[in-house]
Every structure is written in structure tokens, then in C-alpha cells.
Structure 1
Amino acid sequence: MNIKRELLPSTQPLAEAYVDNFVAVESLYENDPTSEESWLQRIKWLDESEHKRVARTALVSQLRKYNLRFNPHQAVQQSLDQLEQQGTSVIVGGQQSGLFTGPLLVIYKAVTIIKAAKAVASKLGRPVIPVFWIAGEDHDWDEVNHAYFLSSELQVKRTRISRAEETRLSVSLTQVSTEEWEYALAEIEQLLPGSEFRSGLMELLKDYSGGSSNLSECFAKLMGNWFGKHGLVLMDSADPELRKLEAPIFESMILKNDALRSAYHESARDLGLLGYEPQAEVAEDGANIFYISEQERLLLFKREGRFSDRKGKVSLSAEELLAELRNHPERFSNNVLTRPLMQDSVLPVLGAVLGPGEIAYWALTRKAFHQLELKMPLLLPRESFTVVEGTLQKYMEKYSLTWDEVRDRDVFHQKREAWLAKQDSLHIDSRFDEIKLSFAGMYDPLIEQLGEIQNGLLKLGAANRDKIIDQIEYLRSKAMDALEKSNEAGLRHWDRIELSLFPLHKPQERVYNIFYYLNRFGMDWIDGLLDIPYEVTGKHRILYL
């Protein structure tokens, strides 16, 4: 494997500034992850603030139960043994529980968490364990119910699991039927080309999905299968047992709701003063907590001292909401702004691995952390990769394409059209242009002369001319089609380059599912990602295979 750093501009300028010019945005964040002093300050604060978090023994007890079900590797139990000891910290990151783990970036995030934990533990000389937070409490089904693959016909294909009825239940509470699992597996089996690895991969998928009642369970089993041996601890944010431990933190969020809301708004204003747009909604009256009522996850707002949803399906005073929390903690969950606070209240977080969008919206949370007597952890950019297979390398070399030319869609298509034009020995386009110009030069004067004989002939002649030009254009299009067909093999090379590296006009890591690559390179491919040297900046790298 040859590894090369190449530019892949982020759509999040704030995240870019965080990595490239931290001084310019340090007022929005707590510490610079590239500074050794930042790490020392954070670990010192964690030691001093042990009493502010959920008791380790209770947390580890719950995590043992969960991981024994879905991630029962001995290395995970060793990680939990360490976590139970005061002084152990964690590197944590999370993602929604997508179908068969969703896009590649999920795998890269887990890889980054593991490598960062190992690197920091070595630097500090203290135990640091990797933790993956499965965001099973999210309810946006359309974000997680699908996986993308590149078919042998060079089409980006999606396999998708539907649900019986439209609900706003958390993904971890949304049941997936045996029939839906079987349908998705049948589609994947059709999409994956024949390889020496396909049968084993399909057996793995059938085994793990067959015993899973929802997407989160299958997600956890797959992640445990690949990363449990590296000590990666899994936790589901929708786990009812975890929710019981979180109840005191929800109580603080309810009692300090006004102060938290003010903190988010102050941060949003700070962002604006620096020229950035908030990357998460900061509603004027947002309570930033979800409440489940009648099988529906409702986002709460605070109006006139009461907590209610947008449509008024529920309306509770603070006292009534606290009573609900005491009796039914499983009915509560976080939104995008309170989840970071919950994570830091539950775990001794040394650093959080985040994607560009997450780094951008975490800028809204620093002052909210302080309201709960917490401090924002160090934010570590997720590692970013693009896989370039050997065949793609050959095609790029054949057509003299650089990475920059491929990632710039307009430039890529200009190069493609220029290549196709070179294959046109007849110069079809220019000759048709000449014919149209020559025809118009002879025909237009005749039409004018005919108009002198009878006025109606002028209109008829113009209509006749347009029909003939349409026919010339029709023949031109057919000739160009024939040219493309005669160069079909070359054009497929161009299509393969584009669809492999930027499917749906997005970076590869945001679209394709890991099983497409496991089918080509085998299960060891994931372990190979862990051998790539860790870079704390998360700068994008090309993996030439």
C-alpha cells in the first residue's frame, strides 16, 4: 500500500480553521489537540473532576452487560477492567447505527479512535481506552436505513430497509423483520461481484442480521467482530440501562435549562462575530431534550415555564418532567447540542473523535459545558481516506489524470470531453457546424427572395429551414453516439474513475459501504487501516492499493 496526502477540501470552513489555524477559533474551543500542554491540562482536570461523572463501577457494570451480548472479546473485557480503575481515560467517538455499518467513514472513525487511544496512552504513560458511542437514540430512519455499492454495470446502487409504518421512534427501538433482513441480504448478494471472499462475507451478514431485532444490534455485532480484538468498547445511547445512569444528568439539564439555552445562543452569536454560520439549529425556545410519548420521539421546547413539543402533543411543567424522569428515564434522550454534555458526564473523556460537521457544531457547546461544571474535551479530527485500487491507478496514468483533476468535477469532465474529441478523426462537431453555417448562408437569401413573390412563403421557408437544421442536429447526435459507442471501453474507464472516487459527487468515504471493499480485499483490509500511522490532524490521505 502506498499512502499519499492529498487535498480534499472540507465543506466546513470552521473545521478547517480548527485544524489549520486554531488560534483564530480558540475562543470557541477549549484546547488545541496538537499542543502537548493541552493533553496534560485535560488529564489533570479529569483527575480532579472524577466526582462530576457517573460512578465508574456502575458504568462499567452496564458496559460489561452490553458488550458481552454484542462485543464479547477478551480485549474488550480488559479495556473495561482498566476503565474501572480511577485514572483511566477514554478516546470516544460515535455514529448512527447505519445498515451494515453505513458508509466507510464509520469504519475510519472507529480506526481513528483506536489509534488515537493507543498514541495518547503512549504519550502520557497512562491507560487510555477506545470507546465507540452508537447513536441509537436518533430517530431519522432515512439517514441509516441504506447502504451503497458500485455495481458491475458501473451504477451506484442502494440497498434499503423499509419499516412497517412511519414513526419517530429511536433507531434502536425500531424493529426490523426477518423478511426485511432477507431482502437486503439478497440485494447485497446480487450487487457484490464474485470473489474469493463473497461467500464468507454473506455468511457473516446472515449470521449477524438473523439474530438482530434492529439496526443497532447488527451494527454492534459487526463493529465488535472487526474491532473487539483491539479493545474497542461499544455503548448504545438508547440502552435503557445506560439511561438510568444518565438520569441525574438529565435532571441537571432540566433544572439548568434556561442557563444552557442562553449558553448556546451566546456561542451562536460568537460564531457569527467570527464570520461562521451555526451548524446546528439553536432554537430561540429550545430545551434541547427529546421525550418519548406514545411511541414518538418529540423534541421539547420551553415556553412560559412549560416543556412542550412543536405540535403541543405534550406539555409538562419542570416538576412534572422531573417526575417523569424519575419514573421513566428511558423516555428521555439528547439532541445534537446536549449529547456532547451527556458523553462527558458519563465517561472520562480525554478526547473526542469527530468528523468535520461535528467539529463545527461542537463550537456551540463550550459555554454549555461550563454551565454543567464541565470542560470541553480535546477534539480529534476523524482520519479521512480515499481508496484507489490498482486498476484505477492504471486508468489515471493512462489518461494522465492527477488527483486534483479528478476531484474537480468540472475539470474532470473537460478532460473527458477533450479525450473523446481526440478520438474523433472525422472532426464531427466542427464539420456539422460548417455544414449548418454553409446551409444557412445559401438558404436564408433564397427564403428572403421567395418572400418577395408571396409573403406566406417567408414564414413557410423559415419553418422548413428549422426542420432541416433539426435533422442535421439529429444526425450530429447520432454520429456522436456512434463515436462514444466506438470508444465505449475508454469511456467506461473514465466512468469507473469518477464513480469509484466521487460517487454521487461526494467523497467515496461518505457513500460506499465497507462490504464493497471487503469483498475485493478480504477481512484483513480493516487491520491494514490500523497499521497506517496516526495523524492527529486527520488530514486526508490516498491509499493506493
Structure 2
Amino acid sequence: MPTTHISYQETGYFSKMICDYLSEKESLSSFYQLFPTIDNFKKQIALKNDFSLSKRKTLSERLSVQYRNTTLSEATQKNIQSLVHSNTFTITTGHQLNLFTGPLYFLYKIFSVINLSEELNVKYSDQHFVPVYWMATEDHDFDEINYFNLFGKKISWNRESGGAVGELSTEGLDELVEVLKNQFGATDHAQKLIKLFSESYTQHDNLAEATRYMANELFAQYGLVIVDGNDAALKKEFAPFVQKELVHNQSHTIIVKTSERIIEKGYKEQVHPREINLFYLKEGLRERIVKKDGIFYITGSELEFSEEQILEELEKYPERFSPNALLRPLYQEVILPNLCYVGGGGELAYWFQLKDYFESVSVPFPMLLLRNSVLLMPLKLDDKLQKLNENVSSLFLSQHDLEVKHTHYLTVIDIDFTKQRAYLKKQFEDLFELAKQTDKSFLGAVGAQEKKQLNGLDNLEKRLLKAQKRKLKDELERLTSIQDQLFPKESLQERTVNFSELYLEFGDLLLDEIKKELDPLVGKFTILKLS
């Protein structure tokens, strides 16, 4: 399928920090280790080369347990088994347990790590690279994940929630199956979607198992390995770092200093560190740990511990200690032989806050790769756009700016009054020279009149533009209709639309083409046209 690219900066949808990072600006260089290029992976391998063999064994064993109720593909089974070997490394992305994958960019994250792993396996044939999806099973913000958008409407799972979302029972999701049958219709593609939804959510007891099943169904053929960090044996490996966090609050002090440097460089702090960046996790409960006067309190509960008691709790029940957004990256890098984290702009922004902290605890900092961003454009819409003599990059403009641009293109009248403004200013230059030869109060009168005349030209230009837009209403509406379909609510398609909308039309071709066309190291926004 035809694929084109535009720069992330040109889209207008990405922060200055991310655009500067992609340009390798010097202002950000101290906040990451190595920029993600294919050649730099050799250096990153050297940094991670001494990853503990015992941790590898624990990881492989726990993954086998986590997959006990899931049918493994040969590729995934091989990848899990390979993790015990010192020449195996991971390429990791993470995502929430959004209902039915949530927005489209879930697919782009996963295919980014899959395609990068495949590219590395060719480039560095002496090593083996495994694509990993880290499920955010310990998150507790249910309202962020309990829905997906379908044809502009929310399909929601409404229920009471508490604790880690991965442990939530899937009870009640069977009711959505009937809703989707009505929405999807009865085509072959619709039947496949309903089957995937039903088998994921009605045949598994909790949200973590349901999400694992669904992701495995979509990506197992490519060897994707799915990790649930909410695991006692894996958290035992992380326990020494949890102890440092509880006793010394080391992350807070260092991350605050790094964040101050980021702000001094003109960027925004993505996440503000707490004194203790941990939650206490039990059934139905995931609340912050705070320390006051030597006592550790669990907010939102009556639980409290002395330092001796909480360290004893950590020793006995490491699974009850859950890292927050700032400590989760460290947890991942401690238990995975990971080289590169693939994430969105917001994720990379908080990783930039962490490099100094990683160095303080002697954990290698991974490469940070911006996930692929994509606009999926059916060829029928591209044909309509071409008939309007407009290019797809224009659709990234705000709707107002798009209408103005296209009106200027269509109209035979010169709507731009730049020449008239220049002429008027020249006339007033002569008047100012004349005013200088008389009473100074006359200068103010001339200035006021100039401003009035220029404002009048501005208003006339706006009225002429408005008149032309009315005259060209039909064509502008055809253009904005295309934009509305590709940029719902003037937002990137990938941040709102669920894959099911496009799957209904394109079926497995949708996934095949995304997999085929995404280049994880391209460093540009991808426009993929589908027929």
C-alpha cells in the first residue's frame, strides 16, 4: 500500500521536547544515554551484557507460569525459552489494559517492538531479540481504560472498581457482546471481532488474563512475549530497590534535581515525584505509601507500619509493593534484559526525568524510541482529497486554518491585503514626517488614525474571506468532512479510534499492512493508505 511520511514537527501534534529529541538537540542530550539508531544498539548491548543469569531464569520460569492458560505460538514459546541465554535481549513497550485494546496506537506500539526486534535479529545475528508487551496490570485508574470509541460513541464497561485493574473480575462484560453484535453487523469481519471480544472477556476471570489472551491472539505469530509485572517472584528481584525507596527516598531527591534541569532547559516536567514512589497493593486496594514521623501510612486505609514492620512486610510479601509511573521503568529494567523502551511522547518525557536516578542505583538506562505514529487513510478518502486538489499534510491543520488555506487556493480574488497594508503604512510614514514639523500632539492623532485604518483593512480582509467561504461552502464541506473522518474532534486518529472500525472494512489486511509498512526507526509520522 502507498506509504508517505511527514516530520513530527510538521504535524503540530507533538511537543517541543519530542521534536527536539528527534532532532538530537544538545539541550536534551544529558537526559538520555544513547539515541536509538541501528548502530547504537551494539553499544547498548555492551551496557546490558552482564544481566544476571539468575534473573533470566526467574523471568523465563514466571512467564511460563503466566502463560499456563494461554495457547503459545511456536515463536512466542521459543522467545520465552531463549530469555535464559546471555545473548538474548528484549525490546519493550507498555500499555494500559484498555477495553478491546483502546485507541489505535496500541497496535502501533506492539508492531514497533516486533519490527524493531526483527530488524535487530538480522543486523546482530549473534544475539537474539525478543519483542515484549508489559501489561500495566497494577494501574488503578479504571476510568481511563473502561471504554473504547466506536463510530464516535463510547462503548463502556460500567462497574465498581478498586485496587489493581488487572485483578478486576470480567463479570458484566458479557453484556457488551450483544451491544457489539448490533454495532458490528453480521459480516465475516464482524464475526471475527465478536469472537475475539467474547473469548477474551467472557472466558477469562480477570482483566489481566483477558488482555493477555487478546494480545496473544493478535500478535503471537510474531513471537510477542506478554509480561505481567504483578508477580511475587519478579517483585522479589526488585525488593532491594523498594527497600532503598522506603528507607532513603532516593528517587525523590535525584528526580527533583533532574526535573529542575529539564525546566531550566525550557521543557515541562511530565510527572512530579513523590517522597515515596510506591503503592501498597492488596485485593481491592492500591494506595500510596506515605511516611510521617517515622511511621509508614497507607492512604485511604487504616494500615500503618513502623520501618521494621514495613521491611518485614516487604520480605514476606514483595507482591504488595507496587511502583508508580516513575518507578515502574526501573522495575522493568531490573527484571528484563532490555535494550530499548518504545513509548509515546508523554512516556518518553517522564523517562527523561529518570536517567540520573538510574545511574545512582547502577542500572543501565535503555534507549528511548518514540513509537510509530500513523494515519490510516482509506484510498477512497484519498481519491476524494485528490479531486479537491488538496494534500494529506494539510489535514493536520486546525479546521479553521484548513478552510482558510483551501479558500485562498480556490478563489480567483486576492484575499490577502498585505500589499494594501504596506501601501497604507508608507502613506502614514509621510504623514509622520509632516507631523514632526508641527505640534507633537498631532503625532498621536496620526498614530491613532493609522491603527484605525489598519484595523479597518483587517476587518475587510476577514469579511472578504468569510464571503468567499460562503461562496465555496459545498467544496469546503467536502474537505472538512474528510478531515472529520480522519481526525475525529480535531484529534489524531490514533488517539481516539479503535481498530475495530477499520477491521470491519479491511479485516486481517489491516494488521498485515501495518506490520509490513511500519519502520520503527524512520523518525517520521507515517501516512498509510489502505484499499
> Deviation digits for residues 327-365 of structure 1, max 9, x if unmatched?
222221110110110001000111111111111111111
Report the counterpart of residue 404 of structure 1 in structure 2.
393
2:253 is equivalent to residue 262 of structure 1: yes
- Alignment counterpart, residue 502 of structure 1, candidates 482, 487, 491: 487
1:267-346 aligned at under 5 Å gives the runs 267-283=258-274, 286-292=275-281, 295-309=284-298, 313-346=302-335
Other structure's SS at 1:69 match: coil
1:86-485 aligned at under 5 Å gives the runs 86-125=86-125, 126-150=127-151, 156-163=152-159, 165-167=160-162, 169-177=163-171, 180-192=172-184, 195-255=187-247, 257-283=248-274, 286-292=275-281, 295-309=284-298, 313-411=302-400, 414=403
Contact 2:373 2:525 survives alignment (8 Å): yes
| Unaligned stretches of 5+ residues in structure 1 | 151-155, 423-482
Report the counterpart of residue 442 of structure 1 in structure 2.
none
How far the C-alpha of 1:238 sits from its partner, in A, is: 2.4
- Alignment counterpart, residue 26 of structure 2, candidates 23, 27, 35: 23
Distance 2:487 2:33 in 1: 34
- TM-score normalised by structure 1 residue count: 0.79
Identity of aligned residues (%): 26
Q: Which amino acid aligns with 2:342?
A: V
Other structure's SS at 1:392 match: helix
Report the counterpart of residue 518 of structure 1 in structure 2.
503
Contact 2:93 2:109 survives alignment (8 Å): yes
2:47 is equivalent to residue 45 of structure 1: yes
Contact 1:130 1:232 survives alignment (8 Å): yes
Rate the CA distance shift 1:35–1:294 in 2: closer, same or farther, 3 A.
closer
> Deviation digits for residues 280-321 of structure 1, max 9, x if unmatched?
1223xx200011257321122333443335567443333222
- Alignment counterpart, residue 521 of structure 2, candidates 536, 539, 542: 536
Q: Which amino acid aligns with 1:508?
A: Q
Contact 2:295 2:306 survives alignment (8 Å): yes
Contact 1:249 1:345 survives alignment (8 Å): no
Distance 2:206 2:59 in 1: 24
Distance 1:538 1:301 in 2: 41
Distance 1:67 1:192 in 2: 30
Distance 1:322 1:370 in 2: 24
Stretch of structure 1 that moved more, 120-129 or 73-82: 120-129
Other structure's SS at 2:243 match: helix
Distance 1:120 1:22 in 2: 26
Q: How many residues get paired?
A: 467
Other structure's SS at 1:72 match: coil
Distance 1:71 1:104 in 2: 25
Q: Which amino acid aligns with 1:530?
A: K
How far the C-alpha of 1:418 sits from its partner, in A, is: 5.4
Distance 1:491 1:328 in 2: 62
Distance 1:498 1:193 in 2: 26
Q: Which amino acid aligns with 2:46?
A: K
Contact 2:399 2:490 survives alignment (8 Å): no
How much is the aligned-residue C-alpha RMSD, in angstroms?
2.7
Q: Which amino acid aligns with 2:141?
A: D
Distance 1:190 1:242 in 2: 42
| Unaligned stretches of 5+ residues in structure 2 | 412-469
Other structure's SS at 1:291 match: strand
How far the C-alpha of 1:537 sits from its partner, in A, is: 4.6
Other structure's SS at 2:326 match: coil
Contact 1:195 1:520 survives alignment (8 Å): no
Rate the CA distance shift 1:390–1:194 in 2: closer, same or farther, 3 A.
farther
